[in-house]
Structure 1
Amino acid sequence: MATIPLHVARRRLETGNVVSYPEGSPIGRAMQGFGDELSAVAEHYRQMKERQETFDADLARRRFNGRIAQAEDEVVANAPADGAGLHDTMYGRVDPRNGRVVKPGLFDTLFDDALPNLPESQHAGFARQKEVLRAAGSARMAAKQQARRDEYELAEWTKVQDASLVAIAQSDPTDTSTFEAIRQSGLDLIAKMGNPVARQAAEAAWRSNTANPRFRR
């Protein structure tokens, strides 16, 4: 079936300089039927084009989501041990007072690259989703950064704890002031840990390990 541009459907049959026929006449009915057929063909074309564009837009969004997931994995893999800067690198920074982006992130670059790949009719809808997508990704990345930080603090505390227990074991058993200083120093560091669950577990283990200064004998 030949493709009928939309403007044909809108025009239907021009009546300006065209010879008109009475509606009840065979020719009039035929012309009316022809106009209705043109409208039906054009409507079919419009619906088909709309389905095609929404399909292509969905594919583009899926590709964008895949790039975002890949980028997040790469940012996490390349982040420092304590996770510093992980969130801002990926999703930038937004002023909470007005919602304006004050520091773009990799998300902004990927979004801007994805927009031209969508059908033009889908641009506005995709653009309206930008900050919603940023907010969801921002929460996801903040959680990953916090998890990285928690792992870092626990690993660093474990190093300090091991070194402190060795120092206690090698110290003079009668030197209680040194023992107490090391013990308190450990408690002070534990108190600065951000994760409350890890902090409580570390403190309980540390107090147990240093409950008796003579354990080093």
Structure 2
Amino acid sequence: MATIPLQLAQRRLDTGNAVQYPQGSPIGGAMQDLGGELSAVAERFQQRKEQQEAFDAEIARRQMMDQIVQAEADVAANAAPDGAGLHDAMYGQVDPRSSQMVKPGLFDTLFDDVLPKIPESQRADFARRKETIRAAGSERMAARQIQQRQQYEQDQWSEVQRAELDAIAQSHPNDTLAFNAARQRGLDVLNKMGLDPRGKLQAEAAWRESTAKTRIESLIAENPIKALNQKAHTR
């Protein structure tokens, strides 16, 4: 079937300048039918064009979302050990009171690069979805930053534990002042960590248990009988 140019298909057959046929003439009726067919073709063409543009916009959106996922992974991989700045690097800063952009992020670059490639008929709707996409990603990245911060604190706490337990092990087992000082230094670090109340109580109990165990091991090495007598007083 031959392709009908859009500019031709979008208008009905104009018989104003053509030869006029008597009303009811077979030729005149055929000309009117042809005009109606061309109009229907134009309508179907426009519907198909809009459908294709909506499809192309959706494919572009999906490709952009894949880019966002990869960008989030790259930003996280290159972030500071404690996760500082991770969220803002990806999604920027938005003033919660005015909803105005304070600092753009990588998300803005990705979105703004894709927007001109969206078919014009779909572009305005696509642009309106920007802040909805940002909000979902912002929540996701904020959770990722918090998780990275928590892991950082746990890693640092492990270092503190090793250092203070080594200090207890190397000090004289009867040096109660040194033992209490090392234990308190550990508790001071725990107090500054972002733990919930229950987690804090559990961590403190585990720390007291670890310090007591280390001291008992030192006492056993020096005087097993004395260690057994002091075990109850160390906890």
What is the TM-score normalised by the length of structure 2?
0.83
After TM superposition, give the deviation of residue 16 of structure 1 in Å: 5.3
Question: Partner of 1:208 in structure 2?
Answer: 209
After TM superposition, give the deviation of residue 15 of structure 1 in Å: 6.1
Whether the 8 Å contact between 1:83 and 1:146 is mirrored in structure 2 is yes
Tell which structure's C-alpha radius of gyration is larger: 2
| Equivalent residues, number | 216
Question: Partner of 1:188 in structure 2?
Answer: 188
State the alpha-carbon separation in 1 of the partners of residues 32 and 95 from structure 2: 60
Q: Which amino acid aligns with 1:161?
A: Q
Say what the alpha-carbon RMSD is for the aligned residues.
Answer: 2.1
Whether the 8 Å contact between 1:12 and 1:35 is mirrored in structure 2 is yes
Greater relative contact order structure (CA < 8 Å, 6+ sep)? 1
Question: Partner of 2:127 in structure 1?
Answer: 127
State the alpha-carbon separation in 2 of the partners of residues 178 and 44 from structure 1: 87
Identity across matched positions, percent? 59
What is the TM-score normalised by the length of structure 1?
0.90
State the alpha-carbon separation in 2 of the partners of residues 195 and 147 from structure 1: 12
**Cα displacement string for residues 36-68 of structure 1 (whole angstroms, at most 9, x for unaligned residues):** 101111112112211221221122112111111
Q: 1:103 to 1:7 in 2, by over 3 A?
A: farther
**Cα displacement string for residues 6-56 of structure 1 (whole angstroms, at most 9, x for unaligned residues):** 5743x3233655565566443342232111101111112112211221221
Whether the 8 Å contact between 1:54 and 1:122 is mirrored in structure 2 is yes
Secondary structure class of the residue paired with 2:187? helix
Matches within 5 A, 1:1-217: 1-5=2-6, 8-9=9-10, 11-14=11-14, 17=17, 24-196=24-196, 199-211=200-212, 214-215=215-216, 216-217=218-219
State the alpha-carbon separation in 2 of the partners of residues 200 and 22 from structure 1: 100
**Cα displacement string for residues 110-146 of structure 1 (whole angstroms, at most 9, x for unaligned residues):** 1000111211111111100100000011011111111
State the alpha-carbon separation in 2 of the partners of residues 136 and 23 from structure 1: 65
After TM superposition, give the deviation of residue 5 of structure 1 in Å: 1.5
Whether the 8 Å contact between 2:168 and 2:215 is mirrored in structure 1 is no
Structure 2: give runs of 5+ residues left out of the alignment: 220-235
State the alpha-carbon separation in 2 of the partners of residues 7 and 97 from structure 1: 53
Q: 1:34 to 1:164 in 2, by over 3 A?
A: same
Whether the 8 Å contact between 1:168 and 1:179 is mirrored in structure 2 is yes
